[in-house]
Amino acid sequence: MAKTRNTSVITPSSLGRLLLVKLEKEKYLFFPEDELFCSTVVVTTPEKDVVHFPCYRWVSRGKAVELRGGKASKAFEDELPLLVDHRKKELDLHQGLFTWKAFADGLPHLNSVKEPTKLPVELAFSISKEVETTYTRESGMIELKMKGFADSSKTWEDLDMMKQVFWFKKTPISEYVSEHWKEDEFFGSQFLNGANPNVIQRCSVLPLNFPVTDQMVQRFLEKGSSLEMEMRKGNLFLCDYKRLQGVPTYEVNGKPLPLTAAFCLFYKNPEDKLLPIAIQLNQQHSEQNPIFLPSDSENDWLLAKMFVRNADFTEHQYSYHLLATHLLAEVFAMATLRNLPIMHPLYKLLIPHFRYTVAINTISFKQHFGTGAGTGAGTGETTLGLEGLKELLKRAHSEITYSSLCLPENIIARGLDTIPNFYYRDDGIKLWDIINTFVQKMVEHFYPSDSEVSRDSELQNWINEIFIHGFLGNVQSEIPQEFHTVKQVIQFITMVIFNVSAQHSAVNMGQFDYCSWIANSPPFLRKAPPATKGSSTMSTILETLPDVGSTVKGMASMWLQSKRYSDFIPLGSYPEEYFDEDEKYFDVTKKIMKYFQAELSYLSESIDERNSTLTIPYNYLNPAEMENSVSL
C-alpha cells in the first residue's frame, strides 16, 4: 500500500554548491513493495542557505530519482555539464514515457496510454478521488435500479414523473429549470448564462436559407419596428447549428436518431429579455421544414425548442466541452511534460493547471473511443455514435482559431460585447484580465527581454509540439509555431490557463443544473422533427423524449460530471511549491501569487454580491468554485 511520510536528514558538513539530490529506496528484497511519495526535499546548509528540491512523485524500490533544486532556469542558463546532462536526461525520460497517439483523423493527438491503470502514478487520480468517483457513479445507479428506473425502456407517461428521479440530488437551479423550462424568457437566457454560452452571436444579416419575414415576427417585435430596424439596433441574435448537418447518428432498431442542424432567432426586447422568435429545424427551408413561431400551437413551439436544445446539447458536450477544453488541455499538458523540465519556469507555472487532466481524459477516451464505444459515444445515452462523434469533433476542430480560444476576442467576434445580462462575458472578461496580469508578472520576471524568449529552445519546442500535435499544423488556426516576443508568450499562457480552468468550469459546472431536467436539454430525441404544423400533441413530445431508463442514466451522468470532490483545488491555489526564487529574503513569485489570489478573492466576492440579487445566479466563473485544472 502506498503511503506518504515526512523525513528529516541533517548533516553538519559543508555541502558546497548543491546541484542535485538523489533519492533511492533501500532494497528490502523479502518485503512487499512500499512506495514512498516525496513532495519536496528542503536542504538547509550549515551556511543557513535553504534550497528546495521539488519532487512530487513516487519513489519505488530500485529506481533512483535525481532532483534539481534552486531557482527556475532556462536551458541556455545552464553552463555546468552536470546540469546540462541532467536536463537532457529528464526530457529524454519524459519523451519516452509520454508519447503521442493519433487516434482519429483530424483530431488532436493525445497520450498513447489506453488504460487508466497504466498511467504513471503521478498522473493518476488520488485514492480519495478514485473512491469518491466510483462511489458517486455506483451509488447513483443502485438508487435508480432500486426505484426500477435504470433498465426501463418505457415512455414517460407525464413529465411530472421525472421529478421522482434523484429526489435528493437536486440544486436550486435544477429545480427552477424543471418548473420554467417551457417559458421563452428562460429558454433565451440559457444561451447566455447556461451550460453552453458558446454558440449564440449577434445577427446582422439573416441567412438566405432561413427566410424569416417581417410578417412572421412583427407581433413579437417592438410596435412599428421591423427585422431590418432591429438588426441595425443590434437587437437580433442567432444560433446556427449548421455544423451538425449530415453528422451520422446512432441507430436504434435500424433507424438513425434525429439530429437537427437548426436555426434559432432571438430578439432582445426593450425590457432586455432575450426571446426566441423563430426556429427552423434544418438548414434548407421547404414546406417540410417550416419556420416555427411563438404564435404556433403550444406543443409545436415546445417541440421545436426541444430540438434546438438537443442540437445545443450535442455541440456543448462535444465541440465545446470535450474538444475545446478536455482534449486541448491534454495537448497542453503533454507538450509541457515532454518539453519543459521541472526546473523550467513555465513548467513550474503551468503544471498545477494539468492536475488529473491526463487521467480523466484517458478514462474519457476509453468511454468514447475504446472497445465497445459506439453507442451514444460509449454511453448509449446521446445522439451520436462513434463515427458521428469523430465527424463532429473533426469539423469543430477544423474551425478552432487562436482568437476563438481567447475570450475577449471571441466575444467581440460574436458581437456580444454590449448585450445586457451576459454574466458569462462579464465574469469571464474580468477573470481573463486577472489571469493575464498574473501571467504577465510571472513571465516578465523570467523573461526580461524578447531575446530570452527567442533563445529558449525548450519553450520553442513546447509551442511547436502544440501547433503540430494539437492543431495538426493548421496555419489557418493562427496558433503560433514559435515565439518571438514576451508579449506572445504572455498571451498564449493566459489562454492556456483560462481555458483549462475558467472555460472548463463554464461548460462543466452547469451540466446538472441545466441538463438534468432532460426535457430542457435532451441528450437525444427518438422521433423525427415535425414536418408540418398543427400535428404535435403532448403525447408526441413524450414519445420524442428519451425513454425512462435513458433519461435517468443521463441524469446520473450529469450528476457525476458536475459533482465537486473533496480534493478540489480552486483556481489560484498552489499547494505544491515548485518555485524557490528567494532573492535576499524576498520571493518575487510568491508575492505575485498572493496578489493573484487576492484579485481572485475580490472577484469572487463581487460575483457573490451580484448573484444575491438574481433569480437565477451565475456562479460558474466564480474563482472560489472552479477547479485549477480539467480534472473531471
Beta-carbon count within 10 A of 578 CB: 20
Least confident of 20-34, 187-201, 222-236, 342-356: 20-34
* Residue 168 pLDDT grade (very low, low, confident, very high; cuts 50, 70, 90): low
Residue of 23, 30, 32 lying closest to 64 (CA atoms): 23
User: 123-161 in b/e burial notation, b at 16+ Cβ within 10 A?
Assistant: bbbeeebeebbeebeeebbebbeeeebbebeeebeebee
Q: Residue 75: left (phi > 0), alpha (psi -120 to 50), or beta?
A: alpha
3-class state of residue 593 by DSSP: helix
Which helix H or strand E contains 4, and what residues bound it? strand 3-4
User: Is the confidence at residue 616, as pLDDT, over 70?
Assistant: yes
DSSP bridge pairs for 275: 267
What local confidence, expressed as pLDDT, does residue 375 receive? 43
89 to 120, 335, 488, 534: CA distances (angstroms): 18, 17, 29, 71
Helices (H), 371-456: 386-399, 402-405, 407-413, 423-446, 450-455
Compute the distance between CA of residue 397 and CA of residue 187 in angstroms, rounded to an integer: 28
Q: DSSP character for 479? A: -
pLDDT tens digits, one per residue of 49-59: 777 777 666 66
Domains of the chain by range and CATH? 3-70 (2.60.60.20)
User: Is the confidence at residue 174, as pLDDT, over 60?
Assistant: yes
Q: Is residue 365 within 8 Å of residue 334, measured between CB atoms?
A: no
Q: DSSP character for 401? A: -
Residue of 500, 490, 501 lying closest to 446 (CA atoms): 490
Compute the distance between CA of residue 588 and CA of residue 314 in angstroms, rounded to an integer: 45
Q: Are strands 251-252 and 263-268 parallel, antiparallel or unpaired?
A: unpaired
User: Is the confidence at residue 613, as pLDDT, over 60?
Assistant: yes
Q: What is the mean pLDDT of residues 576-591?
A: 72
* Residue 169 pLDDT grade (very low, low, confident, very high; cuts 50, 70, 90): confident
Compute the distance between CA of residue 563 and CA of residue 360 in angstroms, rounded to an integer: 14
Q: DSSP character for 623? A: G
Q: Is residue 482 within 8 Å of residue 488, measured between CB atoms?
A: no
* Residue 9 pLDDT grade (very low, low, confident, very high; cuts 50, 70, 90): low
Bigger pLDDT: 431 vs 63: 431
What local confidence, expressed as pLDDT, does residue 148 receive? 62
Percent of the chain at pLDDT > 90 equals: 65
Block residue for cell numbers 553552463: 79
Compute the distance between CA of residue 416 and CA of residue 150 in angstroms, rounded to an integer: 41
Block residue for cell numbers 425548442: 305
Bigger pLDDT: 107 vs 557: 107
Cell of 279: 426556429
Cβ within 8 Å of residue 139, ≥6 positions away: none
Q: What are phi and psi of 145, to 5 degrees?
A: -65, -40
Bigger pLDDT: 166 vs 245: 245
Cell of 195: 451550460
pLDDT tens digits, one per residue of 362-407: 988 777 666 444 444 334 468 998 899 999 999 999 999 999 999 9
Bigger pLDDT: 276 vs 171: 276
User: Is the confidence at residue 583, as pLDDT, over 60?
Assistant: no
